[in-house]
Amino acid sequence: MKLWGAFFKLIRYPNLIYIALTQFLLQYCVVEPVLHSAGEEPSLSVAQFILLSLSTVLVAAAGYIINDYFDINIDIINKPDKMVLDKVISRRWAMAWHTIFNMAGVSLGFIVAWKTGQIYLGFTQVICSLLLWFYSTSYKRQVLIGNVIISLLTALSVVVVGFYEKQIYESFEAIMSPVGRKLIQIIGVYALFAFVISMVREIVKDLEDMIGDSKDGCRTIPIIWGVLPAKRLCNALLLLLQVTIVLVEVRVFILGWYVAIAYLLLLVQLPCIYVYLLLKKAHLPEHYHKVSAMVKLVMLTGILSMIFFKLFL
């Protein structure tokens, strides 16, 4: 049991659940209702969607493993009590699982791409796998670029579902059709949300891990730019998020989705303000850890807002 617990901890199973949940809600609460409202069916069958989601989860799990593999020296300082590599799971087994998950994830991605007749889409998982490798080995130790890559990959986990819809890949006319534009607008908003909130969390995590990162030679934003500029960047991103949500609320107000507005206000916007207040006072690792947990909660409530498309479309 201890080994299995360590294994699930290594692959960050809560984050994998987030990814699977995001894709499930996007497919069945956004894509499917939008297409059904126009008398069309999704391009992906249930089986193909499950394979695509599993492919994304496996590549992400491989990324978490390789990240911990190269972060052992940092984790010894930042979170020695939470380490599983070299304590419960050997590095050799970690690398083996990384390879297995990557190969399985990429293979499943190509199978789905082949089944939909768009084989080139299979390279999406290859690119993600390579970015996660280079992030762990190099990019995460460089100022800003590591944060941007992880945030882009988080957004991509949302967008990738839309890639497989013929209304997006089939032709320019399909993209410009009412259904195509609606899909792109909705997916685009959630991708932007995922990118911005992920950037905030990554910077907060850098603030939390400053001691270990600095001893390992990492050039993260708070180490190079300073703590105050890092916090200001987070505040700017939170402001961008608030503006985006207000614009969305204006749009759904016109549609008469008043319950959705109340949800966004109470469970997304107000928690973002709370994140701002927590971050303003934070100065110790445990403070930043609390901020990071709150940001993760905002990610969840933001994702769950997709349910309203299923209810109102």
Mean pLDDT across the stretch 242-256?
Answer: 95
Q: Rounded CA gap, 44 and 32, in Å?
A: 10
Map out the domains of the chain as residue ranges.
2-312
Q: Which of 32-41, 50-59, 92-101 has the lowest mean pLDDT?
A: 32-41
DSSP classification of residue 283: -
14-36: per-residue pLDDT in tens? 999 999 999 999 999 999 999 99
pLDDT of residue 79: 74
Q: What's the pTM?
A: 0.93
Q: Rounded CA gap, 240 and 299, in Å?
A: 15
Whether 1 shows a pLDDT value over 60: the answer reads no
pLDDT of residue 166: 77
User: Which runs of consecutive H residues, i.e. helices, occur in 138-177?
Assistant: 145-163, 166-169, 172-176
The enclosing H or E element of 208 equals helix 178-208
Q: How far is CA 97 from CA 11, 51, 63, 94, in A?
A: 10, 19, 11, 5
Q: Rounded CA gap, 29 and 25, in Å?
A: 5
Q: Rounded CA gap, 208 and 293, in Å?
A: 12
116-165: per-residue pLDDT in tens? 888 999 999 999 999 999 998 888 888 899 999 999 999 998 889 888 88
Whether 85 shows a pLDDT value over 80: the answer reads no
Whether 211 shows a pLDDT value over 60: the answer reads yes
Q: What single letter denotes the amino acid at residue 238? A: L
